[in-house]
Structure 1
Amino acid sequence: MKPVTIDLVRHGQTYINRYDRMQGWSDTPLTEKGIADAKKTGHFLAKTHYDRAYSSDTMRAMNTAKLILEANDHPDVELRTTMYFREEFYGYFEGDNPARTWFVIGKPHGFDSYHQIAEEKGFDTTKDMMHAADPFHDAEDATMFWGRIMRGFRQLREENPDGGHILLVSHGTTIRSIIDKFGKDQGFNGLVGPRNGSVSTLRLDDEGVHVLAYNVLPDDPQ
């Protein structure tokens, strides 16, 4: 396949983001700030000619993508949705406060926070620990999560064999997990979560996934 450049965008702020709650496969609307986030990112990317546009199949991602495309100088791109790039599924912990959730999950193992687990043991361990702590075991473990994400990258390869530039709107933990897995050797640090409306850039080719930029906002110094 010819290389595909991916502008990977985190959706705008939602009410659950505003209330500092876990939001995986659950969904809430964009706040006024979230709408502004998406519009600002749209203007930032307005000159980019996208060959394809994708978002996860959640309302917050789809609405962010639509606002970005509305601001684009080439607005005739069809938006496609894919469940493969949803947020990580938090199972029983959906809607809970993240600090409390990760204290409950981590404390029996000697950890006080998500950041501490991720920094010392890695992002995959956070997923496995949450799955184990979920009384229903519905939360995705690392194998479930990466199986889904890699099916998503396979979809992008199959649907874009001639290469090109695509927009993909996804979610915070999904994006930082991708950055950590594929960008660590290039010095990118997923321990700092992507901001709402931020843009990360990937290159997808026959050799794999490569991180070119992470967590860039329209008002960041260039």
Structure 2
Amino acid sequence: MSGIDIYMVRHGQTYFNLLRRFQGFSDAPLTESGIQDGHKAGQRLAKIHFDGAYSSDLTRAIHTARYALSENQAGSPVEPTTLPNFREENFGSFEGRDSQVTLTDLNASLPATYSTYADMVKDLGMPAVMDHFAAHDPYHLAESYQDFLTRVQNGFNQLRDLHQDGDKVLLVSHGTTIRAIADYLGHPEMAAQPVHNGGIMHLKLTADGADILAFNDITTNFE
């Protein structure tokens, strides 16, 4: 199958992840475990020569990409180029808040009660969940699904412009971004899964779409 191979990695664990807080456009440093997440992902990708290496412009993704690239044994770039279009979803004024407190607030305007973000996505679907956050952000900062989708599509078009069939690309991004891409590509069952820090989604990007070859992978040594 022709196309561009994209190895899309979720950043390592941050202190907001550890404390179970919504993160989004806000940033928190990697924990010691998060640093190791980056190294471990890099070790499983160490034999791949990457024709390009990218991350979102949030520091947790940049640092994870650097740790991953430090493990590469195939002459890949040593520093990622930032692509802001692959940022995490913007959760607006919900960012930095405890996830359970936030879900309790959002449940008040839903017909069912959800104890986890994953349960909400599984039942309502990613587009509806993103739009629910946007509709109930009192500061009107949270992204709608269409806003999110437009910028991610622009990001993939950037990669199509930068690369050609047969190229291999490292891209460090974020959990909800990865899940929403899987949903958009026709896999809501994947979108309902929390993505491991350092988990890898392998995409084949073509001129008119993309196929998922691996998702949320924390065990495979890719070649």
**Distance in 2 of aligned mates of 1:160 and 1:15:** 34
Give the unaligned 5+ runs of structure 2.
Answer: none
Between 191-200 and 111-120, report the one with greater CA deviation: 111-120
Residue 37 (structure 2) aligns with: 37
| Runs of 4+ displaced beyond 4 Å | none
- CA offsets per residue over residues 83-104 of structure 1, 9 Å max, x none? 1000000101000111221221
Percent identity over paired residues: 41
- CA offsets per residue over residues 133-177 of structure 1, 9 Å max, x none? 000111001011101111101101111134410000000100111
Q: How does 1:75-94 map to 2 (within 5 A)?
A: 75-77=75-77, 78-94=79-95
Check if 1:120 corresponds to 2:116.
no
**Distance in 1 of aligned mates of 2:48 and 2:194:** 25
2:185 to 182, 187, 191: 182
Q: How far apart are 1:199 and its partner, in Å? A: 0.7
**Distance in 1 of aligned mates of 2:109 and 2:174:** 28
Given that residues 54 and 169 in structure 1 are in contact (C-alpha distance below 8 angstroms), is that contact kept between their aligned partners in structure 2? yes
Report the secondary structure of 1:109's partner residue.
Answer: coil
Check if 1:141 corresponds to 2:119.
no
Check if 1:212 corresponds to 2:200.
no
Q: How far apart are 1:66 and its partner, in Å? A: 0.5
Q: How does 1:164-203 map to 2 (within 5 A)?
A: 164-184=167-187, 189-203=190-204
- CA offsets per residue over residues 102-152 of structure 1, 9 Å max, x none? 221132222322334322221000111111100011100101110111110
Check if 1:20 corresponds to 2:23.
no
Q: How far apart are 1:181 and its partner, in Å? A: 1.6
Between 155-164 and 189-198, report the one with greater CA deviation: 155-164
> What TM-score comes out, normalization by structure 2 length?
0.92
Change (3 A) 1:148 1:108: same
Q: How does 1:48-87 map to 2 (within 5 A)?
A: 48-77=48-77, 78-87=79-88
> What TM-score comes out, normalization by structure 1 length?
0.92
The alignment of Structure 1 onto Structure 2 pairs a total of residues equal to: 217
**Distance in 2 of aligned mates of 1:165 and 1:79:** 14
**Distance in 2 of aligned mates of 1:121 and 1:15:** 28
Give the unaligned 5+ runs of structure 1.
Answer: none
Query: 2:90 is matched by which residue type in structure 1?
Result: F
- CA offsets per residue over residues 51-94 of structure 1, 9 Å max, x none? 10000001110010011111000344152101100000010100
Given that residues 38 and 65 in structure 1 are in contact (C-alpha distance below 8 angstroms), is that contact kept between their aligned partners in structure 2? yes
**Distance in 2 of aligned mates of 1:102 and 1:140:** 17
Q: How far apart are 1:219 and its partner, in Å? A: 7.2
